[in-house]
Amino acid sequence: MTEPLQTGAVIGILGGGQLGRMLSVAASRLGLRCHIYEPGAAPAGDVAWRVTQAGYDDAAALAAFAQSVDVVTYEFENIPTAALDLIEAIRPIRPGREALRISQDRLTEKDFLTGLGLTCAPYRAVDTLDDLRAAIAALGCPAILKTRRLGYDGKGQVRITDPAQAAEAFAAMAGAPAILEGFVTFDREVSVIAARGLDGRVAAYDPGENVHDAGILRTTTVPATLTARQRQDAVLLAGRVLNALDYVGVMGVELFVTAQGQSGGLIVNEIAPRVHNSGHWTQQGCVVDQFEQHIRAVAGWPLGDGARFADVVMENLIGDDMDRVADIARDPNAALHLYGKAEAKPGRKMGHVNRIVPRV
């Protein structure tokens, strides 16, 4: 399928969380409908055209879902391969399977990125305690031991500050294949949200500067504190990744900004083959935000240019940050986005707020 989707066409989304919710809203503005496939609770179901609640091992439900849509995309990476095999036999999946394969495994991802000539933190595969001890000896401390698969928001990782912690850190992986990453001294972290269309055109947003707390993104600020050269290099780097994957859709590329002289000042942390938390600022900072951009790409539409018309600070609302909603709502420069989740739990993303400063 290469023709642009027409009004009334249906985009299937694997995953029904807040990203699926915002994708569904964006699709509806373009006259398109979204069908969500989600095994659990689905905040996206409040705004989507249709929801299928079934497991990724339910072949009949997956087949019926695929047959009801025109194209399939996803809001998270960790979708079982067997489910993707079944869907792809019926409908195209965008972004393609190669991006998922690479991003699902941290070791595969690092090997892919370094194979493109990009720089990552030093790393070693860890399958045994002896592997870990050898990796610590090679990379030194501090270092971070991470599961190769399934970790997010600081989960599935342990910081090692002393080689004597090796056994305890390895036990924390609970037998899962892991990767040890050496420590990188960096000034700040930024991310580039970029998109690639079916026609191969790439459009990137301005890099945003990220601040994390306990492994969870707290704020993204645009413009980021970068030189003009770093800004250009970051955008070009993201384009290299997208083109190498023959990618279709939006991707988040997280980068460490280091002292000049180290890889031109940019080291790739990770890639995310989907719309990304650090791109939420685009909802108030751009005419075409990351969610509409992704829908445009997977639907075969022309991409927007992603130009920014305002400075923005995006803040995630996590757990009891919801107690501040009434005060935030009184701020004339604050745009609230709440995800419709019933219970505010510690560490749970409940929404975000974009605070804007118009550019003059």
**What are the domain boundaries of the chain?**
10-93, 122-182, 188-358
For 94-113, what is each residue's pLDDT tens digit?
999 999 999 999 999 999 99
**pLDDT, tens digit, 9 for 90 and up, residues 197-235:** 999 999 999 999 999 998 899 999 999 999 999 999 999
Locus of tokens 């219970």: 343
Give this prediction's pTM. Answer: 0.94
pLDDT (0 to 100) of residue 154: 58
What pLDDT is recorded for position 322? 97
pLDDT above 70 covers a percentage of the chain that reads 96
> Rounded to the nearest 10 degrees, what angle do helices 18-29 and 290-298 cross at?
70
Domain 10-93 fold is: Rossmann fold (3.40.50)
pLDDT for residue 150? 75
Q: Please give the Cα distance from 134 to 104 (Å, whole number).
A: 25
Q: CATH code for 122-182?
A: 3.30.1490.20
| pLDDT tens, residue by residue, 34-43 | 999 999 989 9
**110-148 pLDDT, tens digit each:** 999 999 999 999 999 999 999 999 999 999 999 999 999
Q: Give the tens place of pLDDT for each residue, 227-257.
A: 999 999 999 999 999 999 999 999 999 999 9
pLDDT at residue 78 tops 90? no
Q: First and final CA of the chain: distance in angstroms? A: 43
Domain 188-358, what fold? D-amino Acid Aminotransferase; Chain A, domain 1 (3.30.470)
State residue 94's pLDDT score.
Answer: 97
264 — pLDDT class (breaks 50, 70, 90): low
